[in-house]
Structure 1
């Protein structure tokens, strides 16, 4: 887990995969598909969204573009605000 962004409105965390093995039906140990994702927390609404798969890949491309172009905080916030509609899960501390 790696925190990428933290502001008054948002937190973005990169969830990195941990290599793991699972037992196949034949009893052999098989590597499990390791996938990464991003958790975006909207502090204003108290909701979060987890991006994985193709959503995570698209978001990764956005991060790479930000690294090249050094956006303003407002540009980052505007982009993250576009993901707020996907945020359906309330933030729960467990």
Structure 2
């Protein structure tokens, strides 16, 4: 459907958007959209770095530790008293660092 748009139709859509939002709001909207995209990208990179560092630390600490007794899995419920949608949750094994 979108592949069949002709240049005149695209121009008409852009003109309608321009009329709806006005000349003053469009640059501000574009600026805030670009800022949001940059923030999202930087946060995603930071989370990826943290995840890689955490995985490396966990792998080295697991090799150094003796096996521990496994606790019963916790359960998360969607609503209080709603047992039909509850599911077990696996939690990462975290060690005390001192």
Q: Which TM class, normalised by the smaller chain length?
A: under 0.3
TM-score normalised by structure 2 residue count: 0.23
Which of these two proteins has the greater Rg computed from alpha carbons? 2
TM-score (norm 1): 0.24
> Which one scores higher on RCO, CA 8 angstroms, separation ≥ 6?
1
